[in-house]
Structure 1
Amino acid sequence: MSDFVKEIEKPSRFVHSLARNVETIGAGQPQYKIRSRAPLRLGLAGGGTDVSPYSEDYGGAVLNLTIDRHAYTFIQPSDDWKIRFVASDLNINEAFPLDMEAIQDTRLPLHAAVYRRMVSEFGGGRPLAITVRTSVDAPAGSGLGSSSALVVALVEAFRALLELPLGPYEVAHLAFEIERIDLKLAGGKQDQYAASFGGINYLEFMAGDRVIVNPLRISRSVQNELETSLVTCFSGISRSSENIIDQQRQGMTEKKTSTLEGLHQLKSDAIEMKQALLRGNIMKMAEILERSWLAKKETASGVTTPEIERMMMAALDAGALAGKVSGAGGGGFIMFLVPPEKRVSVIRALNESGGHAEDLHLTTSGAESWICPMQNL
């Protein structure tokens, strides 16, 4: 159990008001829903150095930013005294009896893991008859940190539901523990912290689970130029990052030269990319992005594919400055830096090559939640 968990009073005083909220169903009393959302992210540089054991042995550094795609969670009392998990975007709807053991048999392990952890540690272990509904603005395996953003949105919704005194660091760390420890899913730490904090951040990862989030103060004109220079393209391939991350971790553990040299370069690129961004030097950022993509391909096989390389060439031929796959690689979204004047041409070329390209908008807000009276909807 984390130190911050030990300091929180259990069970929360809000469990009693939640019980009253559940018990008034059908009695004509006011009801409410909890809503939350957490943004998805693009990694500009350093991705992979946030994965243990590299971050433990050498210290990791990542520069990323959040975009106008989100993971959403909606919680409300269920009207049949069951535990319900719904993933609207996946068309999955599950119902379980009011029993913590019953949710083991689920097709939505992220929902169940967050429910189990939050109720067990902060709700006195008392099962709650609620419906937990989610949706994500990106397909699974997108490389935009969508799974972690979903876990952050779930944790944030339960934080609001149980009135827990958790800040963005605690929400991110708890989401990390649920994914990487409780569910034993392969991956690093950057996605949870990006989703929890939002904005443009330089993240440092150190031994002992120490993470420092450095929000970058970027002028409005530089932000506008960066936003107008970014293009994303969905490759059409939803991939599991687990195999690639396992290869990288094996290379780290075995001190494989190509893996370590690639990761050292990615870390150095994150530091240099931060300086280029602070100066508003998009051309320098593109130079670093190209170098990072070459280094990333050295960390594991499967990072790139013939389809990805074909789309890369289509974008570069249309005027893009540089590109790389977002996330671990193997599919998902590809991001490009382009001259703003050529953005439309690059998007057209990518779409003609079989991708789904579009521009994007940056966001400054991280995970957030709010309460909505049910009778208003």
Structure 2
Amino acid sequence: MVRIVCSAPSRIDLSGGAADIFGKCTLCSAISLRTYCEIQPSEKPALILEGVPHPLEDAPLIQKALKRAKADHLQVQLSLHSDAPRASGLGGSASMTVSIMYGLSQFHKMETNLYELAEQAQRAETDLGMLNGYQDWYAAAFGGLLFLDFRQKSNKKMEEEPYATVEDLSHYRGAMKFVVADTKVFHSSAVSNDILYQEYMRGVSKVVSLIDRLDTITREAKKAVVHKDMGKLSEIVQENQEIIRTFNRSAPENEQLIEAAYRGGAAACKVTGAGQGGCIAAVCTGKRNQQSVRDALLEETDAVFPVEVDRGVFAESRGDS
């Protein structure tokens, strides 16, 4: 019997988050909160979520992922577990779809094109009518500390768009580490993204100007990482948070955790994901600084996760009998 276990990382965005919807660039990091997918033959299609059987017909995103992988009629059992909190702005749905689709390719012993994997997994979600960017799926597929350029991409059909440009800057990260903390306020990225998209498409000058500004400073953030200029990178992350506030995407619960992270000595801190709840991500200058930030955040919430830059999707194990 073939049994595949694979995993894909979640992610934090450091600069340019949400601008990928508009074909701009982002700086993000895959992190060591992963989604695990176990695939094995079954008498009929079955789904296990966090150890509990779940009707497949009540999981439309997973159904779309199976269809995109041409496996919607495959007799397999999918068992899924995530390290990341649900609906928290860490790209958990992307981590899940990438792990499922990669696992199915491994199940069939097929070679995987990571660009195609990221694009197909992203389309599984847009097939449901959701408006999304691209960085979550590319981060889950490729892993690393990534500069991603989405020029000429605007949620068209796959054959009508180029792949993203992927640059892994992990070699330059030095002692950089992160702490993620969850407000435990669920959010909807689809709603937040749709509001921003409508304003941008109407040409609201303030929104257009700030999206363009995100693109500019994200390119500067890439240079800061390459030159290991933590001071400059911190300034850019902080400016990102100011833009998030202007877009009304930072809830009081986010601000409370950001304040705590700075009390702990964080170099920079911002909302990650669509905001209005979900997680914040703190940039730290090393292990000791990471521990100090973690301790400060634990005074506000028990959902605190010291994390590292992590690898992309891969097969954890494969069994054949």
Give the counterpart of 2:188 among 240, 246, 249.
240
Give the counterpart of 1:335 among 252, 261, 281.
281
Give the counterpart of 2:301 among 354, 357, 370.
354
1:137 counterpart letter in structure 2: D
Counterpart residue number, 1:28 = none
CA distance in 1, matches of 2:38, 2:150: 31
Give the counterpart of 1:113 among 55, 60, 64.
64
Counterpart residue number, 2:220 = 272
Superposed CA offset, 1:132-184 (max 9, x none): 1111111221211110111011110111223334310111111111111x222
- Contact kept in structure 1, 2:132 and 2:190, CA below 8 Å: yes
Superposed CA offset, 1:58-115 (max 9, x none): xx1011111111111111111xx211112126x3423xxxxxxxx6xx2222221122
Alignment map for 1:53-64 (pairs within 5 Å): 54-55=22-23, 60-64=24-28
CA distance in 1, matches of 2:257, 2:317: 43
CA distance in 2, matches of 1:92, 1:136: 15
CA distance in 1, matches of 2:291, 2:75: 49
Give the counterpart of 2:5 among 35, 41, 58.
35
Counterpart residue number, 1:44 = 14
1:72 and 2:60 aligned: no
Alignment map for 1:99-178 (pairs within 5 Å): 106-119=57-70, 127-178=73-124
CA distance in 1, matches of 2:129, 2:282: 32
Superposed CA offset, 1:248-293 (max 9, x none): 1111111112221221121112101110000111111111110111
Counterpart residue number, 1:326 = 272
Q: RMSD in angstroms over aligned alpha carbons?
A: 2.1
Give the counterpart of 1:205 among 146, 150, 156.
150
* More displaced 10-residue stretch of structure 1: 165-174 or 332-341: 332-341
- CA drift at 1:374: 6.3
Query: Matched residues, percent identical?
Result: 26
CA distance in 2, matches of 1:372, 1:163: 11
Pair 318,130 (structure 1): closer, same or farther in 2 beyond 3 Å: closer
Give the number of aligned pairs.
313
Superposed CA offset, 1:301-332 (max 9, x none): 3x111121122222223332321011111122
Contiguous gaps of at least 5 residues in structure 1:
1-30, 95-102
* SS of residue matched to 1:211: coil
- Contact kept in structure 2, 1:144 and 1:326, CA below 8 Å: yes
Structure exhibiting the larger radius of gyration computed from Cα positions: 1
CA distance in 2, matches of 1:194, 1:114: 17
- CA drift at 1:211: 3.0
- Contact kept in structure 2, 1:265 and 1:295, CA below 8 Å: no
1:183 counterpart letter in structure 2: L
With normalisation by structure 2, the TM-score equals: 0.90
2:297 counterpart letter in structure 1: L
2:133 counterpart letter in structure 1: G
CA distance in 1, matches of 2:108, 2:31: 28
1:275 counterpart letter in structure 2: K
With normalisation by structure 1, the TM-score equals: 0.77
CA distance in 1, matches of 2:316, 2:267: 41
* SS of residue matched to 1:163: coil
Give the counterpart of 1:195 among 140, 143, 147.
140
- Contact kept in structure 2, 1:241 and 1:330, CA below 8 Å: no
Counterpart residue number, 1:86 = 48
- CA drift at 1:203: 0.7
CA distance in 1, matches of 2:62, 2:87: 17
CA distance in 2, matches of 1:357, 1:84: 32
- Contact kept in structure 1, 2:150 and 2:165, CA below 8 Å: no
- Contact kept in structure 2, 1:259 and 1:298, CA below 8 Å: no
Pair 75,185 (structure 1): closer, same or farther in 2 beyond 3 Å: same
- Contact kept in structure 2, 1:311 and 1:355, CA below 8 Å: no
- CA drift at 1:371: 5.5
- Contact kept in structure 1, 2:244 and 2:271, CA below 8 Å: no
- Contact kept in structure 1, 2:68 and 2:121, CA below 8 Å: no
